[in-house]
Amino acid sequence: MARSGKPPADKASGGGKTSGTRMTGTRSSGASTSAGKTSGKASAGRGEVRIIGGQWRGRRLRFSAAEGLRPTLDRFRETLFNWLMFDVEGARCLDLFAGSGALGLEALSRGAKQVDFVDASATVCQDIRQHLHTLGSDKGRVWHSMAEAWLKTHASQGPYDLIFLDPPFHQDLLQVCCHWLEKNGYLADNCKIYLEAESSFERAKLPYHWRVLKEKDAKNKVFFLLERTPPTPDTPA
């Protein structure tokens, strides 16, 4: 699922009515690891995402097909946002491995205060910027960066109330991301974390103070909605 190639520059730009601030930072190393959350139809070289709720309900947005984008069906996304019914409005959100941007865009449609989209693909990032412009939203920021590199260097952007974490499967990225999310203070108290993993993923690998609120199995993957409870003084490192 991963896309290999030249590591991306780490930079963000806004979308919507304003062009946003453009920033440059450290360059990351390694292969691109972005996974996508897409829905709807796919055609030669293009796909389509449909927003299923909120102010942009029913809007369809086209995105470029890219190696490593892993489709998530509408019904799973609808289940997730039913779980999050009272947690999205006014939330600061982080969409790591953003892919098509479907989860972050859905959150904005449902009243999120801000969403930071992070992805290692320049094409993916450009598509998300275009979506924000099309929707007239200035509440999204798009960061072209490897997820791990971004988490190591952008702690000042947190904390977040809601995090979408859906990396490519079988690349041992979840534990790395969980470590940096905790270490660098990205998680507000009682932050909600949506996590999607291969079906063989062991729950014991999660930080012990991340409480499982909801869990759903699919054919070859598992979905979790977690809540980060404040660690106690005796929390293991």
Q: What total number of domains does the chain contain?
A: 1
- Structural domain contains residue 4: no
pLDDT value for 70: 57
pLDDT value for 66: 64
- Structural domain contains residue 233: no
CATH number of the domain to which 32 belongs? 3.40.50.150
Region 115-119 average pLDDT: 97
- Structural domain contains residue 1: no
- Structural domain contains residue 96: yes
Q: Is the model's pLDDT at 168 over the cut of 60?
A: yes
Region 9-30 average pLDDT: 42
Domain that holds residue 50: 9-228
Any idea which of 30-39, 176-185, 187-196, 201-210 has the lowest mean pLDDT? 30-39
- Structural domain contains residue 85: yes
Confidence band, pLDDT 50/70/90 cuts, at residue 201: confident
Alpha-carbon torsion (91, 127, 4, 203), positive or negative: positive
Confidence band, pLDDT 50/70/90 cuts, at residue 15: low
- Structural domain contains residue 161: yes
Question: Which residues neighbour 162 within 8 Å (Cβ) at sequence distance 6 or greater?
Answer: 84, 87, 88, 91, 92, 93, 94, 107, 112, 191, 192, 193, 194
Distance CA 235, CA 44 (A): 50
Confidence band, pLDDT 50/70/90 cuts, at residue 225: very high
- Structural domain contains residue 67: yes
- Structural domain contains residue 62: yes
Does 232 or 156 have the greater pLDDT score? 156
